[in-house]
Structure 1
Amino acid sequence: MRILTIISLFLVIALTSCTTPSEKVEDAENKVKNADKELEKAKEAYLEDVKKSKAEALDRLVKHQQEVIAFKEKIAVEKQEIKDKYTQKITELEEKNQKIKERLENYQTDDENQWKNFKKELNHDIEEIGKAIKNLTVTSAQ
């Protein structure tokens, strides 16, 4: 009798602690749904970063173009010698600015790691153009 009670107790514990296959499937489905939600949130955040960064970069490129136009207007009243000195540099800066703008507009948002590298290079290139424009305007003022 004692053995029968122990076996019965053991069976009750064993059966209540086991999950059924349908419970396991349901648990797995919930985990997949949660993972899908997290993936979707991450994708949305990534796409928002791309959109925001592109807009900021385009704004900076437009600002650079405006600075170049203002500089052209400034040297338009100068002697031909001074105009000639800066014309080639201005043209190079405008071309670089345009190439960066085209790279940005043509970039396809495929992979987050590629985007991070692209964004880093893009920001570096934009900063370099900004420095070159600043140096150009400072040099002309002297």
Structure 2
Amino acid sequence: MKKAKGTTIVLLFIAVAFFASCKENTPAEKVLNAEDKVVQANKDLDEANAQYLIDIQNYRVQTSAEITANEQSIAAFKLRIINQKAEAKADYEKKITELEQKNTDMRRKMDEYQASGKDNWENFKTEFSHDMSALGQAFKDLTVNNSN
């Protein structure tokens, strides 16, 4: 009987200790935890925003270099067609004028882009990259036609 009382008392203490350790956080602890989560979320957001702005800046530099290379190609091509026959020269000049305008439009479009959210940036970047690829292909096509 004594042994049963001792076992019961020990089990009672274990149960009390177990339930005492499982208590829920106090309202003050919940507020502190929530504040910590908000601070961490703000840090994560700031880091993502900084990376987004760096991506925009890097892309601006990259496309500016491509547009400048296009301008140099135009200038070189103009020099190469100086001695062409009048009819061929007029055709090339027309094509060059169109490419110059597209190149200028692309530069303006990139310069005027305002950061307005990552989703908008990704859409803009995809469309702009596609347009730049098409413009680059048009330059290649022009030089291929000239060499024939």
Name the TM-score, length of structure 2 as normaliser: 0.85
Aligned AA (1:17):
C
- Counterpart among 118, 139, 143 of residue 133 in structure 1: 139
| Whole-angstrom distance in 1 between the partners of 2:28 and 2:62 | 51
What SS class does the counterpart of residue 133 from structure 2 fall into? helix
2:22 pairs with 1:17: yes
Aligned to 1:60: 66
Kindly provide the CA deviation profile for residues 31-70 of structure 1, in whole angstroms up to 9, marking residues without a partner as x.
Answer: 1111111111111111111111111111111111110110
Q: Following TM superposition, by how much is the alpha carbon of 1:97 offset from its aligned partner in structure 2, in angstroms?
A: 0.7
| Whole-angstrom distance in 1 between the partners of 2:116 and 2:84 | 49
| Whole-angstrom distance in 2 between the partners of 1:85 and 1:43 | 48
Aligned to 2:111: 105
Q: Following TM superposition, by how much is the alpha carbon of 1:21 offset from its aligned partner in structure 2, in angstroms?
A: 1.6
| Whole-angstrom distance in 2 between the partners of 1:27 and 1:13 | 23
2:51 pairs with 1:45: yes
Could you tell me the percent identity over the aligned residues? 35
Aligned to 1:118: 124
RMSD over aligned Cα, in angstroms? 1.9
Q: Which runs of 5+ in 2 are unaligned?
A: none
Larger-Rg structure: 2
Judge which range, 72-81 or 119-128, deviates more. Answer: 72-81
Aligned to 2:42: 36
Name the TM-score, length of structure 1 as normaliser: 0.88
Aligned residues, how many?
140
| Whole-angstrom distance in 2 between the partners of 1:25 and 1:15 | 21
2:78 pairs with 1:81: no
Query: Relative CO higher for 1 or 2, CA cutoff 8 Å, sep ≥ 6?
Result: 1
